[in-house]
Homo-oligomer: A and B are copies of this chain.
Amino acid sequence: MRANCMADVSDEKLDRGARCIKTLAHPLRLKVLAVLAGREMSVGEILDAIGTTQSNVSQHLSQLRDKGVLASRREGNQVFYRVRDPKLFDLLALVRELFCDRPVDGWAA
């Protein structure tokens, strides 16, 4: 049954699926997820860790939150982001396993 789990998927669902996957398909967003692995961080901390403009980080964070990948929480002046579901890292590990020659090395050719 596994092999057939994708049969008869409607075009609309394929669109939504593609949009979801697209959410993960950007180096800065992957870096955000890497940095957020395990812990919660404020936008400022993420900004320091990532290295781009404040506006750019903010936009990527919004995108990740809008798609349900991240959750956020305001505390006074700051906003903290976290990965909503740790299964996400299983997914990313699977991506590596599938696309990498030598998984230990990280993302591959």
Residues of chain A touching chain B, judged by Cβ–Cβ distance below 8 Å, are 2-7, 9-11, 13-22, 24-31, 33-34, 37-38, 67-69, 85-99, 105-109
Contacts and interface: CB of A to CB of B under 8 A. Distances in A.
B3 A38 contact: yes
B18 A21 contact: no
A56 to B, nearest CB: 15
10 contacts: A2-B89, A2-B93, A11-B31, A13-B105, A14-B27, A16-B109, A17-B107, A19-B25, A20-B107, A91-B98
Candidate in A9, A11, A29 with the most chain B CB atoms within 10 angstroms:
A9
Contact of A5 (B20, B21, B26, B37): B37
Contact of A97 (B18, B87, B96): B87
